[in-house]
Structure 1
Amino acid sequence: MTTRSAGRLKPRITILAADHERLSTLARAATNTHPDVSAILTEELDRARVVADAKRSHPFVRMGHEVEYRDDTAGAVRKVTLVYPEDADIGQGKISVLTPIGAALIGVGVGESISWETRNGELKRLTVLQVGDAEVA
């Protein structure tokens, strides 16, 4: 199932209940400092299917997990770990959920695609290829 947002189709997303609560708080707190990404994250959270346990679900992008995706615009494949802002380190491939691509990735299932807008207004599309295990601290 997909929904239409700002003229773009978006896949149904899934988010763990614990992540949903923390991300909702983060989105509200970022309203003044990062209003654009806060609005995107809030929109994603509002349309998410919230689950208590991911064990029986189709694999989807979760906080702290490595994700391999294809930039459908450029054709490049990347692996990153989706993290909270305080853990972000682009040099280590850790991207914040409070970035446009991080907010787009959250909850997307393996094999599904989503369009997202860069900070300079460029429209891109990505496809999630694989979701790995949680990062070990």
Structure 2
Amino acid sequence: MPQTLLPRDQALLVTKPGFDALVARLAELREARERAAGTDPAPGDDTAELTDRIILVETALARAVIAHGARHGYALAAVGTVVEVDDGARPCAYRLVLLHDEGDDTAATPVSVLSPVGAALMGRAVGDAVEIALPNRRLRSLLVRRIRDDA
């Protein structure tokens, strides 16, 4: 099983482009696993890691609820959105993704929804204040300023 799992029985908000990207990513992972299975196992064989990623994406797709954007962005942060936040020192933007290797063709920093920051931002609305417990035991406060499409 994957080391990091989605919360049990929880729906996952995903934009339509984000959903389509997950479907495409699932196909890529399955093809990669088939190629890896067709070769002689080598040290550091990643077939098990590919299987874990496939399970994670399949689970996400099974729990996906499509978030629809409005003219001025999205009401809630979802996989596939860019969440612009301010921590009091500097503004920054996070592109919410399921897996970090989904490509980075935007200026926003990709952050997995499985990470502390990504999990705290999921489902939040503009104006929400979020306190995040970081792995180094520090607290980080973020104010959601804008939620927009990743494009």
TM-score bin (small chain): 0.5 to 0.7
CA distance in structure 1 between the partners assigned to 2:96 and 2:121 by the alignment: 8
Aligned position for 2:123: 107
Of 84, 91, 94 in structure 1, the residue corresponding to residue 98 of structure 2 is 84
* Counterparts of residues 1-80 of structure 1 (less than 5 Å): 30=2, 33-34=3-4, 38=5, 42=7, 45=10, 54=68, 59-72=75-88, 75-80=89-94
Give the TM-score, by structure 1 length: 0.54
Q: Look at both structures and tell me which one has the larger radius of gyration over its CA atoms.
A: 2
Q: Structure 1, residues 32-59: CA drift from partner, whole Å, max 9, x if none?
A: x24xxx5xx638x48x9x9765457x71
Q: Specify the code of the residue in structure 2 equivalent to 1:76.
A: R
- CA RMSD, aligned part only? 3.2
Q: Structure 1, residues 83-137: CA drift from partner, whole Å, max 9, x if none?
A: 1114276x861111121101111111001111110011111111100011133xx
Instruction: From the superposition, tell whether residues 88 and 69 of structure 1 become closer, same or farther in structure 2 (CA, over 3 Å).
Output: farther
Q: Specify the code of the residue in structure 2 equivalent to 1:78.
A: C
* Counterparts of residues 126-137 of structure 1 (less than 5 Å): 126-135=142-151
Q: Conserved in 1, the CA contact under 8 Å of 2:67 and 2:78?
A: no
The structure with more strand, counted as a fraction of residues: 1
Equivalenced residue count is 94
Residue 118 (structure 1) aligned with residue 83 (structure 2): no
Q: Structure 1, residues 59-103: CA drift from partner, whole Å, max 9, x if none?
A: 11111111100114xx211012111114276x8611111211011
Q: Conserved in 2, the CA contact under 8 Å of 1:59 and 1:110?
A: yes
Percent identity over the alignment is 27
